[in-house]
A and B are shown apart, each in its own frame.
Chain A
Amino acid sequence: MPLEIDHLRKTFGKFPALNSVSLRAEDSEFIALLGPSGSGKTTLLRCIAGLELPDSGSIRFQGENLLAQKVRDRRIGLVFQHYALFRHMTAAQNVAFGLKAKRGKEKPSAAVIKARVEELLALVQLEGLGGRYPSQLSGGQRQRVALARALAIEPRILLLDEPFGALDAKVRRELRRWLRQIHERTGLTTIFVTHDQEEALELADRVALLKDGALEQVGTPEELYHQPATPFVFEFLGDVVKLPCEIVDGAALIGGARVTLLGGSRRTAGAGVAHVRPDAFDVARGESEGLKATLGDVVSAGASARLDCRLDNGDALEIRVPHDLAQTLKPGERVSLRPREARVW
């Protein structure tokens, strides 16, 4: 049974944090709530968990009205951005907390709790560290304790608020892969909040992009990346170069060159602004079709290089080209830049 969020609204004072958000998560789906800070993604997550009460709208799960249930009765696992581990309890005691809080017949025996805690610590690869206090663990380890603690209650939905926000880049990538594996193993409907588009695109089955408390676009990572519904989506998912263009016969004329318009673009004739990714340029030496420019700095950055170009109309333009090509170019050279593809809204 899916999780259905319908026309959710929430304001803080006069600030509209959520403005009529509707979203549906299928069983076992892995959804990323992506957006800049202040876009309402954490508020949405907290509404699902029950830590915030929306002003209007509904959240239903397995046919039940979640909003009528108390936080403690929802059985929704939440991993907090700063983990919120109980600082005076060991990792094992943290994980056991939810099991011990169960009431009446549901409460497992001490032996069962112990076994389950060991099992969960093994799942998050923290065997043998159960006796450590949170302050004795690294950021990544705390993160995993928080996840094990949330999983202990056998949640019906798993929510993660910026799960990798406080970790360094290498640990982030490791944990990302590992979180995906955990999701595949548990099959839990999982929703995570992030402001990192790379993280969202890599991890999620579907990405919901929020802007100012409203959904801008919901879709698979491919859909968002290749068929962005709005300029905001396109700009949020990567760097963008904006160039004036003229649409003629279903193609964009940029610097005299005909450039293919991508799916979803406007095709009606007239002036427009072409949105192009910085790595979607063909660079030719000397004068040929395309934007004429003088090359400034060539900055090598791993597999690709950044070219700082000065267009003849005086505008600065930064594009990315493969490292091999960059090696053949010299600062001060005359080049022609031709976009391979563009989007116009």
Chain B
Amino acid sequence: MTARSPAAPTRDPAWLKWTLITVALAYVVVVLALPLLAVFVEALRKGEAAFFASFNEPAALSAIQLTLLVTAISVPLNTVFGLTAAWAITKFEFVGKSFLTTLIDLPLSVSPVIAGLVYVLLYSVHGWFGPFFAERGIEIIFAVPGIVLATTLVTFPYVARELIPLMQQQGTDEEAAAATLGAGPWRTFFLVTLPNVKWALTFGVLLCTARAMGEFGAVSVVSGHIRGQTSTMPLHVEILYNEYNFVAAFAIASLLALFALVTLAVRAVLESRFEAELAAADRT
């Protein structure tokens, strides 16, 4: 038997601890870190000039713009929806509540491709509502509105899911107290409810943003891949890759990866600050 340190919090042998740590680390390196590194290595393979040149191209700029636009629309939509849904589910009793809760999780379990296909079914020229919009000159499928809809659907649970457990735990006493003190619903929301969930809301929005920028499957189905028009960054990466333009493909991919890393970093920083705040509050 291996000697045990007297300070060890568990009685598990050291070899078990180190095996587990090694397995976990190796897994993370192989599955996550190496591919991520490869993206940046490939992007810079032909030097910085080629890397930056990849962005200085109309189709690439258009893809970046479109991705930012889609994110800028779908994230606020899902933020408002997430808050509304979390509020409704945690502060009220109503028929169909558990159904709504389940429904919110649906986009997480359904393949994004199916989400895209559903929109095609509904809004394409031959779809259920397509003709109605087509008559009025509104294009949805193979156009920006379709991409926004698909992205919104796929990223729809993230804000609500961060909020619901926290708001459930907090209950409704503080809101009731605000009402007895003469505060109206808006005042209560902005001064009591919102500050109580600000961190969960921030995390939800960050996660939702990261996911919205990177969405491929659903957007791929509805976009039509029109270069320079309906191509988002993930789609543009695919186009470039299929054209054997590896440096440009990885350059765009590295920008996407960078967005994701920044989002994660912001979250990590906020989380550590949040913990510090909590710890400070706990000190008597």
Interface residue from B173, B174, B195, B284 paired with A136 (Cβ < 8 Å): B284
Known: A72-B183, A80-B173, A133-B281. A97 touches B178 (CB 8 A): yes
Please report the C-alpha to C-alpha distance between residue A49 and residue B177 in the assembled complex, in whole angstroms: 10
How far, in Å, is A190 (CB) from chain B's closest CB?
15
Say yes or no: is A77 at the interface (Cβ < 8 Å to chain B): yes
Say yes or no: is A258 at the interface (Cβ < 8 Å to chain B): no
Interchain CB contact under 8 A, A97 and B183: yes
How far, in Å, is B276 (CB) from chain A's closest CB?
14
Known: A101-B187, A136-B284. A87 touches B196 (CB 8 A): yes
Say yes or no: is A272 at the interface (Cβ < 8 Å to chain B): no
- Look across to chain A and name the residue whose beta carbon is closest to the beta carbon of B170: A87
Number of A-B contacts (CB under 8 A): 72
Say yes or no: is A175 at the interface (Cβ < 8 Å to chain B): no
Interchain CB contact under 8 A, B177 and A78: yes
How far, in Å, is A84 (CB) from chain B's closest CB?
4
Say yes or no: is A88 at the interface (Cβ < 8 Å to chain B): yes
Interchain CB contact under 8 A, B195 and A88: yes
- List residues of chain A with CB within 8 A of the CB of B281: 133, 135-136
Interface residue from B173, B182, B282 paired with A153 (Cβ < 8 Å): B182
Interchain CB contact under 8 A, B184 and A136: no
Interchain CB contact under 8 A, A72 and B177: no
Interchain CB contact under 8 A, B187 and A76: no
Interchain CB contact under 8 A, B173 and A84: yes
- List residues of chain B with CB within 8 A of the CB of A71: 176, 179-180
Please report the C-alpha to C-alpha distance between residue A109 and residue B73 in the assembled complex, in whole angstroms: 41
Say yes or no: is B192 at the interface (Cβ < 8 Å to chain A): yes
How far, in Å, is B282 (CB) from chain A's closest CB?
6
Please report the C-alpha to C-alpha distance between residue A85 and residue B177 in the assembled complex, in whole angstroms: 8
Interchain CB contact under 8 A, A86 and B192: yes
How far, in Å, is B117 (CB) from chain A's closest CB?
43
How far, in Å, is A110 (CB) from chain B's closest CB?
16
Enumerate A135-161 residues with CB–CB distance to B below 8 Å: 135-138, 149-150, 152-153
- Look across to chain B and name the residue whose beta carbon is closest to the beta carbon of A146: B177
- List residues of chain A with CB within 8 A of the CB of B284: 136-138
- Look across to chain A and name the residue whose beta carbon is closest to the beta carbon of B283: A136
Say yes or no: is B181 at the interface (Cβ < 8 Å to chain A): yes
Interchain CB contact under 8 A, A98 and B282: no
Interchain CB contact under 8 A, A72 and B173: no
- B163-205 interface bits toward A, Cβ cutoff 8 Å, 1 = contact, 0 = none: 0000000000110111111111001000110011000000000
Please report the C-alpha to C-alpha distance between residue A204 and residue B51 in the assembled complex, in whole angstroms: 81
- Look across to chain A and name the residue whose beta carbon is closest to the beta carbon of B194: A88
- List residues of chain B with CB within 8 A of the CB of A50: 179-180
Please report the C-alpha to C-alpha distance between residue A165 and residue B191 in the assembled complex, in whole angstroms: 28
- List residues of chain A with CB within 8 A of the CB of B191: 86, 97
Please report the C-alpha to C-alpha distance between residue A72 and residue B184 in the assembled complex, in whole angstroms: 7
Interchain CB contact under 8 A, A88 and B178: no
Please report the C-alpha to C-alpha distance between residue A138 and residue B196 in the assembled complex, in whole angstroms: 21
Question: B residues engaging A (CB < 8 A)?
Answer: 173-174, 176-184, 187, 191-192, 195-196, 281-284
Top 5 A-B pairs, shortest CB-CB distance = A98-B181, A84-B173, A71-B179, A84-B177, A101-B183
Please name 10 further chain A to chain B contacts, defined as beta carbons within 8 Å, in addition to the given A88-B196, A101-B184, sorted by A numbering. A49-B180, A72-B179, A72-B183, A73-B182, A74-B180, A86-B177, A86-B191, A101-B183, A133-B281, A150-B180
